[in-house]
Amino acid sequence: MVNFKGRNWYLGVSRNISLFSAALEVAGHYFYSIKYGLIPRESLIIVKNGTQASIFNNQENISKYHQQLEKVCLSPTRLKKNRGYLL
């Protein structure tokens, strides 16, 4: 756990990727969440030696994100609306 700006952040994933790749991943999750009608998924990245990335999530935010994601996945109407964003 990391406390940053008065919020607790819990380790979500730790992997061997560069800062650039980690930043693109987190930015993609954030901005595409909005396109899919979800709350933005907030993440905190800590990178050591340029390639050891740990991505932390705020527990309250990630819980709300997962609840909204479940609603979208269980709603045929919302899934159909988002069809244009699928690859």
- The reported pLDDT for the residue numbered 26 is 86
DSSP state at residue 6: T
Q: Which two tokens stand for residue 41?
A: 């998924």
Residue 62's contacts (CB-CB under 8 Å, 6 or more residues apart) are: 12, 41
- The reported pLDDT for the residue numbered 20 is 85
Q: Which domain holds residue 55?
A: 2-85
Tens of pLDDT, residues 35-83: 878 889 888 988 898 889 999 999 999 999 999 888 888 887 877 776 6
Which phi and psi (to 5°) does residue 53 adopt?
-100, 135
Instruction: With cut-offs at 50, 70 and 90, classify the pLDDT of residue 9.
Output: very high
- The reported pLDDT for the residue numbered 83 is 67
Number of domains present in the structure of the chain: 1
CA distance 51 to 15: 8
Which phi and psi (to 5°) does residue 5 adopt?
55, 40
